[in-house]
Every structure is written in C-alpha cells, then in structure tokens.
Chain A
Amino acid sequence: MRCEQCREKFSDLYAGELSASEAELVRGHLASCPHCAAAYEQFAAAVAAVRGLEPVVPPARLLDDIRTSLEATRAPSTLAHRVGKLGPVIAAAACFVLVFIGVLTYNNYRPGTALDLRPPSAIPGQVLREEAPQPQTEPVTPEASEAPATVAEKAEAAAESEKAAETATKPAPEPPSLPPAPVVATPPAPAPAPPPVSPGPGEVRAEQPAPGAEGVTPSAAASTGGGPEAPRGPRRAIGALDLAAARRDEEGRYFAKTTETAPADKSLAALAPVPETGKLFVRFIPPQLRQIGQPVTSAVALSCDKSLPEVAVRVETRRQMRLLHSENGYVYRGPLTAGEAKQVEFKLVAQQQGTQRLRVSVETPVTGLEAQMEVVLPGFETTAVQSPQDPLGEPITVTFKETPLRQALLQIARQGRVNLVLGSGVSGQRVTYSCLDTPAGSVIRILADADGYQVEFQDNTYYISGAQ
C-alpha cells in the first residue's frame, strides 16, 4: 500500500469503518511507515480538536433579530401593496375600458367605417363626406365648409384614442426593483479597476466601471488588484432609497436597507444628480500621538472628480478603542464637491495599551463607488508617545503557511509596531513565508512586492494599494 492510498483511508480508519482486510492493510502500512504513522497521529489529534470545539453562544439579541426579520417578512400588506399586486389586473381592465371608449368614440364620429389613421390627404380618392353614411342623409351644404376640418379633427381624435388604447395595452410599469441590500456588514470585494493615472501615496482610489463592462465588479473600492466578481444590478437612484429607514437601521449602514413598500424619499430629488461614474480618492491620516485614555485626532481626506450629493464616512473600532462624537460610527455625512479635498477629522480614545485597529469605510450613492481600509495603529502607551519614527519598525519572526495576504500583513504590522493602511484592492492571495528577526517594514515590502502591490511610506505609515 502506498502512502497516498493509506492517507485516503484515515477517516475510515478513525471511524472504524474499514473492513477487516482493509484495516489490516492500513495498520500494516502504519507500522512500517513512520511518516504515515506520525501523520495519522496528527490527523487524529486534529479531528479530536475540531470535535472538541465548544458551542458558541450567540448574542442574546439574535433570536429577537430573527423574529424581527420574520415579522418584516410577514408584515400585513398595506392597501398600496395590495393595489400594487393587482397592478397588472387593473392595467388590463383599464386597457379594455380605454379601448372600448376609444372604439365608441370613433364610431360615434364615423359609424360604420373602418379606422383609417392616415391623414385625409393621404387617403387616395378620399371623399370625406362620402365615408360617412349618415351624413349622406343630411343636407350637404350646411356642413360643407366645416367638413374637412371636422373630419381632420375626427381623424386626429381617432388617432389619439387609438394611441391611448395602445398606451393602455402596455403593461403597467412595475416599481423599479432595487438590488437586494447587502445583508452583511463586511465590505464587498474589490473591483479590478483600471490602472491609476497618478496614484498619490497612501491614497485609495475608487472608480465606478463603465456601464455594461462585463466581468467587472461595480462594488467596492480601491484602484487596482483583486479578482473579478459578479456584477451588481443597475445603479440605484438616490431618490429611491428609504433614507428614514436606513437611518433607523441598527447597523447604521447608510445604504444597506431598502424596503419595497416604503415610499420613495423625494426629498433628495432636488439635489445634484448622482453621476453615473466617478473616481473617489481616500487617504487615511493617522494620529501622531499615541496615548491611551486621551483623545487623539485622526482624519480621512476625500476627494472626487464629480460632485456627489451625499457621501458617508464611517469608522468602526474594536472594543478597546472608542470613537467620540459619532452616531453609529458615522463621522461625516454630507456632499462632496468635485475637486474639493475634504478632510474629515475624528477623535479616538484608546483604552488599552498596544496596537489598535480600525476600519474606515466611505460610501457614496453611486453603486460600486466606495472605499474601505483596514488600519493598524501600534504603539499606544500610558504616556504620550509620538507615532513610530523608525520606518522599518521592529524586527519580527514569523512563519506563514497558505495564510491570506491581508491577514499576514496585518499581523506583521501589529508585531512590528508599524502603521499600516490596507486598501481594499489588496486581495486574498495566500502566502507561504518565513523570516527570522527581519524588520517589519522590509517584510511588508517583500510580501507586497511579490504580488505586485504598491507600497508607499508616508506620515510614518505604510500604504498598500492594488497592483498596477
């Protein structure tokens, strides 16, 4: 028995599901092959470890949240909703009525004749008054002067009634269906955007791909890198969002939730129109001082090539860091003028020593035009400390085996006490790497360069963005 064949039987052997002869073969191989014997011992330990995982208790609110979701699904239909459901039936009934009225109207003008919508002058040999049997019985002279105009009006009326009937036969347009709101809070995958024209250091650029581009993700942010993902639905008109419901949303996701039955919010209709495409530039400015218990100021710099009626900047912190003066993590909600560099400052308070982490999201009403960054800020101490000055950080010893690149970089920054901002264009390739006492900054560059990502060092921070 070869080693590969033996290892394919590990699960069956562990479960005692091998036949007697098979079990004898496998055990015989294990007795003679120390590698497989060690592998089986590790295999058994791994299985036991998985089975030994203790059940996780969910947050207490989960059951209530499920019930709330179900109630929303079961919500009794409003009159508008019921009428909406009957829309096609009503439309068909309306068509019939309109056609009937149209036919009656036309026939009242020209009874017994077929509909001819051509202008009278185009009808060969058309003698207007001979078409109508009834007028033949009437004195001609009194009507002669008015007949042409009258008949033209009648033809026009007939044409209009016919047109109305045609319009009425079209199915009533359904309310625009909004793309399903993202259920989860984690950001969508990065888009394979075109190469940046002039990437500024530390900048995250987001660009709305051209409509109709196949295989291009209209979802998230940064400028380069990432694999293709399924395209989203058509751009949502900002006026179609139920902003009141969105603001009440517990998660605080600005554009996450929409309701089909909620009336469209017309309040934004008067604002500047949402552009079809756009380029968004985002840069995180880390705090210079790193003292726990004291507010430290960070900032996000934004700019866009097109004016946006509303942009939202959200900061999510971990439990040992608090964001001040914020509702649901939003530090800015407002317009962004084209070409204007807007700097949004916010204050953080670290409550624990060591490395802090946060996530910065920028949302816009343009589908797919958004940005997200993971930020690592090491070095929070009890006394005020300037942000790390050594660009290379501390030497680290790490071993990665098929570790997602983003996870590896974040761990390096944490251990090496360097500031790091990861653009969402840095995707999840897996790395296998090992080093001993190597400066963290060097390791970051090695791993990032290996996958073709851009590394910039500015304001004592490593900024990693998608590949060129």
Chain B
Amino acid sequence: MPNSDSQLVAKAKSGDRHSFDLLVEQNYLLVYNTAYRMLGDSASAEDATQTAFVRAYRSLKRFRATSAFSTWLYRIVCNVCLDTIRSHKDETVSLEVVYDDGDDPQQRPLPDESAEPGAYIERSERQRLVHRAISQLAEDYRMVLVLYDITGLSYEEIAETLEIPLGTVKSRLNRARLALKDIIAPDLELFL
C-alpha cells in the first residue's frame, strides 16, 4: 500500500531521507508543471522545482500537519516562482517555447513565420498561444489561474497557499480569465 503524504512527512521529519525522496517523486511532476506555467520556460521551471524541494527539505521540521503537505509545498513553489519573476522583471524575454503535443519536450525555437508564410495551425499552435498568453498575465492573476485551472487546487486551498481571502481568490481568478480572453482574442477562432 503506497504511503500517504502524511505518513511520509512524519517519517521524513524524524530523519528518514528515503521518505522525503518518495515525497519528491510523488510531487515533482505537478510542481514542475505549476512552475513551468507560472514562469513560462523550462529552464526556470527546473530551477524553481529544485529550489522548492530544497527549501521544503530544510524547513520540513517547521511544517505542521494543520494543512496538507501539498498545500504547504505549493506555497513554497509559489514563493519561489514569485521571487524568480520579480528578480527577472524587465529582463530578457525567453525565446524558447515548448510544444505541448506530447512529443519530445525539448525546447524548440519559435517557428520562423517568414520562412513558412502559409503555416497551418495545429493543436500544438493552440497550446503555444495559450501558454504564451498565460505568461503575459500579471503574476498575481497568473498564479491563481495556474493553481486553479491547471494544478487543480480548490478555492480554499489556493486561499491557504497564497494566504489571501477566499473572495480575493475568486475575483482574481475571474479577472485572470477575462484578461486571458482578451489576450487570445485575436486568435480566438482557433478555440471556438
């Protein structure tokens, strides 16, 4: 029977390294995807994922079982992502885009439209547009949108993770979605 997070956390807090390693294996994919959607590129997401788990390990003794481990972990992930976003404000825009069509996730360059004047739109193009649109949202909106619509946390979990009121979670989510709608509006025919 697989260990639950709470069992693994209890063992990890008492010094069992293997238990923490299992926690990593069980959570790193979701953590990576959350960071990837928040930060927009694979390299930053990898760094943020590593940093989040190291921070979690170091502060594990301070974790109280009053909230779920995943909620606590996502709080760390969000803080790491916010730190990254704020430290990289006004910096180089990443030119790397990942095609999310299930193929090799290695980064590929933006398509050179000048070389493909009649490029047809594929499903991967929709994914690319949405990913880019999410990256253009303000970080507060982006965070709530990613946590709710992609990571799958509830309003209450997001409120606890981000330490904001429930009403704020709902209003930010709505505004994030409205802003996203406006960003992808020129290409909306791809989605209708």
Given contacts A42-B181, A70-B54, contact A355 B112 (CB under 8 A): yes
Find chain A residues with CB under 8 A from B112 CB: 354-355, 414
Q: Cβ of B130 < 8 Å from any Cβ of A?
A: yes
B 36-51 binary contact with A (CB < 8 Å = 1; else 0): 1100001111111111
B24 touches A48 (CB 8 A): no
Task: Please name all residues of chain A whose beta carbon is closer than 8 Å to the beta carbon of B90 when the two chains form the complex.
Answer: 189-190, 226-227, 229, 427-428
Contact (A66, B130) CB under 8 Å given A10-B178, A320-B109, A401-B183? no
A58 engages B32 (CB within 8 Å): yes
Which residues from B are CB-within-8-Å of A227?
89-90
Q: Does A20 contact B (CB under 8 A)?
A: no
- B50, A51: Cβ atoms closer than 8 Å: no
B191 contacts across to A, CB distance below 8 A: 45-46, 48-49
* Residue of B28, B49, B91 with most partner-chain A CB within 10 A: B91
> In the docked arrangement, what's the CA distance between A283 and B54, Å?
39
Q: What is the CA–CA distance of A399 and B57 in the complex, to the nearest angstrom?
A: 46
Among the listed B36, B54, B126, which residue makes an inter-chain contact with A49, where contact means beta carbons less than 8 Å apart?
Answer: B126
Whole-angstrom distance between the Cβ of B36 and the nearest chain A Cβ: 5
A318 interface residue (CB < 8 Å to B) = yes
- Pick the contact of B87: A229, A318, A355, A359 (CB < 8 A): A229
B-side interface mostly:
helix
Nearest CB of B to A329, in Å:
13
Asked if A374 is an interface residue, CB under 8 A from chain B, the answer is: yes
- Taking CB as reference atom, which chain B residue is nearest A14? B177
Q: Are B178 and A355 in contact (CB under 8 A)?
A: no
Contact of B29 among A58, A183, A189, A401 (CB under 8 A): A58
What residues of B have a CB within 8 angstroms of the CB of A161 in the complex? Answer: none
Pairwise interchain contact A403-B136, C-beta atoms closer than 8 A: yes
Contact A50 B105 (CB under 8 A): no
Which residues of A20-67 have CB atoms within 8 Å of chain B's CB atoms? Answer: 39, 41-43, 45-59, 62-63, 65-67
A402 near B136 with CB under 8 A, answer yes
Complex-state Cα separation, A337 to B96, whole angstroms:
36
Q: Is the CB of B127 within 8 A of A53?
A: yes
Decide yes or no whether A372 CB sits under 8 A from chain B. Answer: yes
A48 to B126, CA, bound (A): 11
Contact status B54-A65, CB under 8 Å = no
Cβ contact within 8 Å between B53 and A69: yes
Chain A residues near B106: list those with CB within 8 A.
59, 319
In the assembled complex, the Cα of A135 lies from the Cα of B21 at a distance in Å of: 75
Q: Please state if B50 and A66 are interface contacts (CB–CB under 8 Å).
A: yes
**What is the size category of the interface that chain B forms with chain A?**
35 or more
Report yes or no: A50 in contact with B145, Cβ–Cβ below 8 A: yes
Q: CA separation between A70 and B90, bound complex, in Å?
A: 31
- Name B191's closest neighbour in chain A (CB-CB): A45
Q: Which residue of the partner chain A has the closest CB to B110?
A: A414
**Those of B150-185 within 8 Å (CB) of chain A:** 150, 170-171, 173-174, 177-178, 180-185
How many angstroms between the C-alpha atoms of A461 and B7 in the bound complex?
61
Question: A86 an interface residue at 8 Å Cβ cutoff?
Answer: no
Q: How far is the CA of A318 from the CA of B43 in the complex (A)?
A: 13
Q: Which residues of B contact A319 (CB under 8 A)?
A: 106-109
Please give me the 10 A-B residue pairs with the lowest Cβ-Cβ distance, nearest first. Answer: A427-B90, A354-B112, A11-B174, A46-B181, A45-B191, A407-B93, A428-B90, A354-B115, A58-B32, A406-B93
Please name 12 pairs of A and B residues whose Cβ atoms are closer than 8 Å in the assembled complex, sorted by A. Answer: A45-B181, A46-B177, A49-B126, A62-B28, A70-B20, A70-B24, A74-B57, A186-B43, A188-B91, A318-B95, A378-B114, A422-B92
Which residues of B approach A to under 8 Å, CB–CB? 17, 20-21, 24-25, 28-29, 32-33, 36-37, 42-51, 53-54, 57-58, 84, 87-96, 98, 100-102, 105-110, 112-115, 126-127, 130-131, 134, 136, 145, 149-150, 170-171, 173-174, 177-178, 180-186, 188, 191-192
Interface positions of A (Cβ within 8 A of B):
7-8, 10-12, 39, 41-43, 45-59, 62-63, 65-67, 69-70, 73-74, 183-190, 226-227, 229-230, 318-320, 353-355, 357, 359, 372, 374, 378, 394, 399, 401-404, 406-407, 410, 414-415, 417, 422, 424, 427-428
Q: Apart from A63-B24, A424-B91, what 14 extra A-B contacts exist at CB < 8 Å?
A: A11-B177, A53-B100, A53-B150, A54-B127, A58-B42, A59-B42, A65-B50, A70-B54, A185-B47, A186-B94, A226-B90, A414-B110, A422-B92, A424-B92
